[in-house]
């Protein structure tokens, strides 16, 4: 099996790469690439994201043909893709970080700043938080409800259809921290920084 981690120069993704290599051992051919041919011929794709919604979308668009290839992979070929942090947020139609920016539009919704209730909640939301698994998701196989995952974010994905939500956290309000729609999976938390539980999720995605 071939898995591509999309490298579009959006921050340091070494921990993502290391976690997938640790779990996959020699069973999976893992490639870190922005080559659209390699991405297109993969069985699975991981879309990481660090920085702002706007900067990540711009970085994707800066690589000729990459967004078209990802659309083909996800929408037409219906192959599994996992978005992490801003990688998940970019699934939305639109994001409002820095300025209004058009997203990939794979899962209808918007990305808005977390309501910190006039400073009552610190932003960015950094650290461990307990996830509430709200639907039977393939990537949460053998992961207990109320497990702790690691977060770093100030913005949240608000999907138009609640059916895509697979887990939430309580921080100021109920925040979506994981989505699943057919072959599209996303986590707001960082599985690669979430210890053994996070590695279990990585393993579940690899074994889909």
HSE-up of residue 28 (Cα within 13 Å, Cβ side): 25
Q: Which of 97, 153, 180, 190 is catalytic?
A: 190
Cβ within 8 Å of residue 159, ≥6 positions away = 92, 107, 108, 109, 165, 176, 179
142 Rama sector, left if φ>0, alpha if ψ -120 to 50, beta otherwise: left
Active site residue 125: no
> What are 174's two structure tokens?
């109920």
Instruction: Determine which one of 85, 97, 125, 177 is catalytic.
Output: 85
Among 69, 97, 156, 192, the one annotated catalytic: 192
Verify whether residue 192 is a known catalytic residue: yes
190 in active site:
yes
197 three-state secondary structure: helix
Q: Give the residue numbers annotated as catalytic, written as ranges.
A: 85, 190, 192
């Amino acid at each position: 099996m071939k898995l591509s981690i999309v490298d579009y120069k959006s921050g340091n993704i070494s921990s993502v790469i290391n976690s997938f290599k640790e779990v996959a051992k020699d069973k999976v051919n893992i490639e870190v690439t922005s080559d659209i041919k390699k991405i297109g011929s993969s069985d699975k794709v991981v879309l990481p994201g660090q920085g702002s919604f706007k900067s990540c979308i711009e970085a994707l668009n800066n690589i000729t043909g990459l967004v078209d290839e990802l659309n083909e992979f996800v929408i037409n070929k219906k192959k599994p893709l996992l978005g992490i942090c801003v990688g998940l947020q970019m699934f939305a139609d639109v994001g409002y970080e820095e300025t209004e920016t058009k997203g990939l539009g794979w899962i209808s919704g918007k990305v808005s700043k977390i309501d910190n209730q006039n400073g009552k909640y610190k932003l960015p939301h950094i650290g461990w938080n307990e996830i509430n698994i709200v639907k039977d998701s393939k990537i949460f196989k053998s992961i207990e409800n109320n497990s702790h995952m690691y977060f770093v974010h100030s913005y949240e994905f608000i999907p138009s259809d609640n059916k895509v939500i697979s887990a939430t956290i309580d921080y100021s309000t109920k925040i979506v921290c994981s989505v699943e729609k057919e072959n599209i999976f996303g986590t707001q938390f960082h599985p690669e920084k979430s210890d053994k539980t996070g590695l279990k999720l990585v393993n579940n995605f690899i074994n889909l």
